[in-house]
Structure 1
Amino acid sequence: MPRLTGLRPIHWLLLLLSAGAYAAVAYTVPRQNFWLLLSWMMVAFGAYAGLWYTRLPLKAGLVAALLLRLIWLPALPPLSDDYHRFRWDGLLVVAGINPYQFRPDEFTLPGRPAQTPAKTGLADTVSPARHPPQHLLSGTVLQQLAAEYPLLNSPHYYSVYPPVCQAIFAGAVRVFPTSAMGFAFLLRLVLLAAELVTVGLLWRLLVAFGLDKHRALLYILNPLVIVELTGNLHFEALVICLLLLTLWLLWRKRVALAGGVLGLAVATKFLPVLVVPLLLRRLCWRRWLLFSATTGATLLLVFGPFLSWELLLNIGKSLNLYFRSFEFNASVYYLLRPLGQWVTGYNEIARIGPALALTTAVGGLLLAAREAHPTWPTLPRTLLLLLTLYYLLATTVHPWYITPLVALSVFSSYRYALVWSGMAVLSYAAYQTLAYTENLWLVALEYVVVLSVFGWDLRRPVPTSAADQRQR
């Protein structure tokens, strides 16, 4: 491993500040203490900006990025409780129970009877109460589930984590069947491995596209990336890795293999499917159909063990709830919400959410059709704009959703995604109360700053990479 040589005193100071900030967030700052969290994140982002503008040597930056991630290795996720659902699903998969078929509140656990839809208040969105095959669960597993249940943030909803995630959850449970700490440790190792592959892919793609390799530091040292992916165990780390691998394989003309990798990305998080329309003008019809066929075949193969009518029905219900009920840190939707309330007298999210999603789909098709000079080097920038449109129109934008934008921005001159990664920390103000009450002034500040930088980026001329010029 390269040593941290050739560093100036300012680099050492900034790296020590970064390490101190991450250690504080990982081990000392409760999520409810927003202002302390914000203070430490400002230190981390200040150090990040300083390291970029003082031109931290690339190899030293790669080593530093790994060491800063290793700070989190023995920590439980400090700012997210999603890993409790990860473990719940993993326990079910290992026991042979399909996690997509039953909600957590349908299980009869020690000290807690199963609930009916009437008791959950979701009778119009869930199926009639059934009896999970609890005979498959040992007493130890039931005790583990009972311990996890009070910690779940969505016990009344079906699992929304696709099969690649479920396989990793199950693998971690098999290795650490009774240890939440061990479970989180193994998930972190998997995501760290994905991040290491991402570093290699960033390096290769930047070289292939004739861009400065130093740009890789914009992603791998980004504080939101480190905190949310390594620290809070969000699987965008794996999605980013698979998306970049898809791009690398397409660049190498390995179309069928690229389609299979994208299938794995979609089977990790559904969002990467948005890239498919952008490929039509970059591939001939025959190759595009081959790519789409291998993507679809991979999805069928991966979903196969869980495939059932209930799988489609319940995932559909979860997605329906996502677009029609959930709202957090939104922008355009929060402007439309009071208008709907003024017209009808109540929250119109059930109509506005799907309408905004449809607008994203139409916008994506228009972006694909009207893109000037579509090439492989311009694909990250176009996908960046499409995902930006999606999140600007979304009703829910958690901070970790921004991390793919940070990765894609490495290949462009746009810097609004980097600014957004810092401003998104303001959304954690909602966790100061048990009711998760958002401070709309902070939300407004976040988006005013981000959209201002976005507008400034769009007004600047777009530089052309050497690889882009060759393809043209």
Structure 2
Amino acid sequence: MQLNLSLLKLNKTAALLTLFSCLLYGVFAYQLERTEYLKLVLLYTILFGLFYWLIKKYKNNLKLLTAIGFIFRTVFILAIPNLSQDFYRFIWDGSMILEGLNPYLYTVQSFIDDGNLPVANGQELYNGMGELNAGHFTNYPPINQLCFVLANLFPGAGILSSVIGLRLIIIAADFGTLFFGKRLLQNLNLPSHNIFWYLLNPFIIIELTGNLHFEGVMIFFLVWSLYLLQKGKWQWSAVVLALSVSTKLVPLIFLPLFFKWFVKRNVIAKAAKPSMSDVEIASSRVPHNDNNWIPYVSGITKLIGFYAIVGVITILLFAPFFSTQFISNYAETVGLWFQNFEFNASLYYIARAIGYTFRGYNEIAIIGKVTPLIVILFVLLITFFRKNNTSKQLITAMLLVLSFYYFTSTTVHPWYVATLLILSIFTNYKFPLVWSFTIILSYLAYMQIGNANKSENLLVIALEYLVVYGVFFYEVFKKKTKPA
């Protein structure tokens, strides 16, 4: 803390900006109700402006920005999340494992119906998570479950002690992302301060540190894996990627994109020199000679090895929970996201409105089956018809694929955008940064004015996506993309 304070003393403006931001974060953490819409948007807008100002003014002082990032997160240490109820389920799952029970085999509601609560504070946790969450099986992968267990081991018997434990894990992950993200930026010849568009972003601080979403842990492993891959340590990269998948399943969508990294990149490098840089590989073409098949076979062998390591490690991590009932329950829960839940969607809402003109009801049951097929087709197109030979090209492909998935998804919770944001700092795209600001509008979707049935306000959703799509299409179709 002495280091943090001494850094701030060097610049009074930075100290004032930090202090003002801390006061606003304090109000956000301890004096804000989710239904206070005007207060919510006003606080978030001011914090976003201060965040942008801090990075623009002090982008060359990385130690100062790191210290500020730590200070902002400490404001939330004792706060109970006010924009999400998911943490109650996190604590429940961790408590179940500590009691020797498999959290994938039981719903919370089943214990409530039996009148037999196996965990401490069970009734309070049930009341907090709500009937919808309690009525479904857990869908959190094993590394996520490990985090829940560790959080419940934090000293203290109440819910707040577990909240503090969850928060410390997420904060540690954020600074792990800083460590590897900064080094990956340097290796890609990109500005090191780009990492602070993620680390200091109010969206990240509020959604991850504040609301306790574990995208931050998944992102830490993902960035670490990309760093190892860029350094040529593909076996260890696969191990760490498996940890990312076992925290959140999202990175599974990236697996096909590694095809050209291993195969095409290997052919180019073997034909010239193994130590070729990304810049040299990007400007090279596959040479034509009679022995071209040799490096192709070598690249495919590495690719298969990469996939095998990811698959085996992931299966081993799930193994302690494995049973036929687990497979059934997990598949059922994951399927809900495609055919049951609707929130903050964009293209899906348009398709739903069109479908209503023909059928009039239950459009999600039909569209939810078609959407995954469209996403798979898009992933394959990006895999085989786009250059993904360099780290920057590969990460850009990941960004485009995940963006397409969210654009077509039936459910886009605010914290999903965190993965797009971290990927974008290694590319020339800025629309995820814009989205991290407009995403606050999704919390206004259930405004009370004229909305007695609690249906989403589609005008608010439309405003959010008009801005995001406007920036996205500008960046995709403009003739020359400037560096981020």
TM-score, normalised relative to structure 2: 0.86
Residue 95 to residue 6, structure 1, CA distance change in 2 (3 Å): closer
Q: Using the alignment, how far apart are the partners of 1:317 and 1:44 within structure 2?
A: 40
Residue of 123, 128, 137 corresponding to 1:151 = 128
SS of equivalent residue, structure 1 residue 405:
helix
Q: Using the alignment, how far apart are the partners of 2:362 and 2:236 within structure 1?
A: 45
Moved over 4 A (4+): 5-10, 431-436
The one-letter code sitting in structure 2 at the alignment partner of 1:254 is: K
Q: Which has the higher contact order (CA 8 A, sep 6+)?
A: 1
Q: Using the alignment, how far apart are the partners of 2:328 and 2:381 within structure 1?
A: 30
- Aligned twin of 1:100: 104
SS of equivalent residue, structure 2 residue 260:
coil
Structure 2 unaligned residues grouped into runs of 5+: 263-298
- Aligned twin of 1:163: 142
Q: C-alpha offsets along residues 33-81 of structure 1, whole Å, 9 cap, x if unaligned?
A: 1211111001111111222333442221111011101111111112111
Q: C-alpha offsets along residues 346-370 of structure 1, whole Å, 9 cap, x if unaligned?
A: 1310111231222111101101111
Q: Does 1:223 align with 2:202?
A: yes
Equivalences for residues 6-405 of structure 1 within 5 A: 9-56=12-59, 57-107=61-111, 109=112, 113=114, 141=119, 144-153=121-130, 154-176=133-155, 178-283=157-262, 284-372=299-387, 374-405=389-420
The one-letter code sitting in structure 2 at the alignment partner of 1:66 is: F
Q: CA deviation at 1:343?
A: 0.7
Q: Does 1:409 align with 2:447?
A: no
Residue 424 to residue 69, structure 1, CA distance change in 2 (3 Å): same
Residue 7 to residue 422, structure 1, CA distance change in 2 (3 Å): farther
Q: Does 1:440 align with 2:458?
A: yes
Q: Using the alignment, how far apart are the partners of 2:62 and 2:154 within structure 1?
A: 36
The one-letter code sitting in structure 2 at the alignment partner of 1:29 is: L
- Aligned twin of 2:480: 461
Q: Using the alignment, how far apart are the partners of 2:74 and 2:428 within structure 1?
A: 30
TM-score, normalised relative to structure 1: 0.88
The one-letter code sitting in structure 2 at the alignment partner of 1:14 is: L
Structure 1 unaligned residues grouped into runs of 5+: 115-133, 466-472
- Aligned twin of 1:131: none
Contact 2:435 2:468 in 1 (8 A): yes
Residue 424 to residue 455, structure 1, CA distance change in 2 (3 Å): same
Contact 2:207 2:213 in 1 (8 A): yes
Q: Using the alignment, how far apart are the partners of 1:442 and 1:241 within structure 2?
A: 32
Residue 185 to residue 98, structure 1, CA distance change in 2 (3 Å): same
Residue 245 to residue 435, structure 1, CA distance change in 2 (3 Å): farther
Which is worse superposed, 348-357 or 62-71? 348-357
Q: Using the alignment, how far apart are the partners of 1:370 and 1:259 within structure 2?
A: 24
Q: Using the alignment, how far apart are the partners of 1:430 and 1:213 within structure 2?
A: 36
C-alpha RMSD of the superposition? 2.0
Contact 1:195 1:241 in 2 (8 A): yes
Residue 177 to residue 303, structure 1, CA distance change in 2 (3 Å): farther
Of all paired residues, the percent bearing the same amino acid is: 34
Residue 255 to residue 366, structure 1, CA distance change in 2 (3 Å): same
- Aligned twin of 2:272: none
Q: CA deviation at 1:436?
A: 4.8
Q: CA deviation at 1:179?
A: 1.2
The one-letter code sitting in structure 1 at the alignment partner of 2:323 is: S
Q: Using the alignment, how far apart are the partners of 2:482 and 2:300 within structure 1?
A: 29
Contact 1:34 1:431 in 2 (8 A): no
Q: Using the alignment, how far apart are the partners of 1:373 and 1:432 within structure 2?
A: 43
